[in-house]
Structure 1
Amino acid sequence: MKIGFIGLGKLGLPVALAIESKGHEVIGTDINDITLNNIRSKTLNYREESAEELLKSSKLQLKSLDKIVEESDIIFVPIQTPHEDKYEGVTRIPSERADFNYEYLVKGIKDLNEEIEKQGNDKTVIIISTVLPGTISRHIKPILGSHLKLCYNPFFIAMGTTIDDFLNSEIILFGVDDEGAAKKAEEFYKTINKTPFYRTTIENAELIKVVYNTFISTKISMINTVMETCNYLPNTNVDDVTEALALCTNRIISRKYLKGGMGDGGGCHPRDNIALSYLAKKLNLSYNWYDNIMIQREKQTEWFADLIIKNKDNMKVNILGKSFKPETNIVTGSPSILLKNILEEKGIMVTMWDPWVDLMDINKAKEKYEWDSVPQLYFIGTMHKIFKNFKFCKGSIVIDPWRIVEKNENIKLISIGIGPKS
């Protein structure tokens, strides 16, 4: 098939490359000049597993909207639905809650619909953007003509591993509005993987997507609370607790996201939790569970800040890691940056360094921040492999919420989630 993309950003481009790797021809466009230059130069300014390698050999063509409509069998629409920066998760949560911003998605669909109606041929259009339940019915369907055959197909991916997550997804979640379009899409997906094709209403699909992300955040929030509990209880270790829980596959489900550490992050989870909190208030639910998740994340990050202040004495404070997950340079929703902001709010000066984010290599960072010559306090904010055997100056204090730093008699190591010996 010939597959079109209206949007080739951090979600659209990796998925387009994944689809192309399965033998389909892909064409697309984007309104962002940086994105277009990335594609033309076959390089990326962000880290996405396998994407740059696939991009180098890709035959993906950039085309105008009219050509995409004319030539495509299916058109995917991964246009962003952003939250304001204050809801990203790197600062304290504001008291008010809000829905996503659908301005870009509505404009993109409106332009696409006008071109489809102009050409006068039926086209299968699949929206993959994250939205709250009722959004497509309220904002999208009223602006559609008779030839745009709509589907809603949000993906369960994580930035940094988008291609693998798309090609090996747990389910293909598909909100059906037009039966013919759904059948066409199902045939297309048979060429991608053998994943179950889960048909449902568009409203159900909208809800399932945000609940899925929030369920992961709930899991992280819960296990981080267990980690904090273990920190005080004699003879306990959060990794032993989670190892046992991970074996309980009937009820606990899986070991993924079952490791005590920093709070949830990325471009989806914090914002989806806050958006569902907004929806809970709008619906007047008996209890706003979604609000708890982000509050727990913030409170525990502040607990880390207070732990740093308690132990730092007169030492300089360093946070090692800025990205929201290991071995990537994506800092959206980073709990490490939230920690830095809370520390600075409390009057503590902080240095941050990340091997994947900063242009400065480790040797220059050591020289600049005097890591080799002056004992300092270090907090492991991101579980990058490089920090496991990091050379800390003698007399330094290391606070490790991931329990990856190896014990060393030259440093004071505080491994969070391991209780005192009785």
Structure 2
Amino acid sequence: MNIHFIAIGGSAMHNLAIALHAKGYKVTGSDDTIHDPSKSRLEAKGLLPEEFGWFPEKITSELDVVILGMHAKEDNPELLKAQELGLKIYSYPEFLYEQSKEKTRVVIGGSHGKTSITSMILHVLQYHEKDVDYMVGAQLEGFDTMVHLTEENDFIVLEGDEYLSSPIDRRPKFHLYKPNIALLSGIAWDHINVFPTFEEYVKQFEIFTDSLVHGGMMVYNEEDEVVKRIVESSTNSIKKYPYNTPSYFIDNGTTYLDTPEGEMPLEVFGKHNLQNIAGAKWICQHMGIDEDDFYEAIASFKGASKRLEKITENNSTVIFKDFAHSPSKVAATTQAVKEQYKNRTLLACLELHTYSSLNTTFLSEYKNTLKYADKAVVFYSPHAVEIKKLEAISEEEIFKAFDRDDLIVYTNPEEFKNFLFSQNLDNTALLLMSSGNYGGLNFEELATLI
């Protein structure tokens, strides 16, 4: 098969391109810019475009498929040429479905936790040498790519993102997978540029629940009231398996999970991760892994990239970075770190970086999300607000939204870095939450702080 990627440099797109190349397909692609790690990984496979830009001459009738990335625009010259020639144009989730129509599709959805749960499932399956196809939204230890596709595997495990599929396909990605087995972890309003009300956002998860094939299985977090209502009120003829937070305790900075075989120490921590483990266990059992084998494998799971990822640690200080940016993720992550290190000062630093988090109408959703932090810092870049063509945010609006009198606010990257490097971090847990890098912070430099 001869496949061309428009916007090949995206995180998911370049991984799919590499997976299809490994499958023996002829793969080409274009993009206006490509950064590392995508750039070096494409280059290593001989898939990096010779020059950046859009080249309609690359689009010919010899192509079997064009895969369109979200980064491209509707007036992209290559897209227009493909439409003119009547070529088959897929979004990447649509193409993943085409590749997995004959497989058992396992889809992990939810506003938060889906990357971690998908990662846990894949870790357990790899531990027990059960090979499956997959697509996950983070680079995992022990896995070469974030996408793996074969002809022979019976299962495919897919992280089910609710964001849009492509510039010309405005359906959420997870509506396209038609799962046989699915999971919903939790629902908290996100992507307000696409779903301007909470009701519209929730509707997407109702559609997802109803998209399961008849007789399919839905595993769901019954502690999330919205998830519970959606799943339990669905008239789709599916089997429903609720889960909740398992029994656990913390001793000397280690979380122990109560299991039928006794108390088991974990590498991860936090109530949200304990919930994630409970959901992952149900899914793995539906995929043929029994309970004892699940616990044996999950004990060595260290977490997905940028999900409570430990940067450095000594006897009195620990530093984490976390992808948390939406309000529910910020609250859960901050609470988890404080619970794990209750006798240490928690310094929590949040960068407002996404479209939603920089939107003045959405800011109020962050109220009390940093309440577990002993010291709380919010960083945002007025320049990023300008680039996203959003209304300017004042520091007063930040203080009001977070409802915390002692909040520290920075808008200058150098001033924020100077603040960090001037802190005495003895007996401290430092938590850096962002989907960005605080205007250029080198996280590896933070190891020099302790």
Fold shared per TM-score above 0.5: no
Greater percentage in helix:
1
The bucket for the TM-score relative to the shorter chain is 0.3 to 0.5
Q: Larger Cα Rg: Structure 1 or Structure 2?
A: 1
Q: TM-score, normalised by structure 1?
A: 0.39
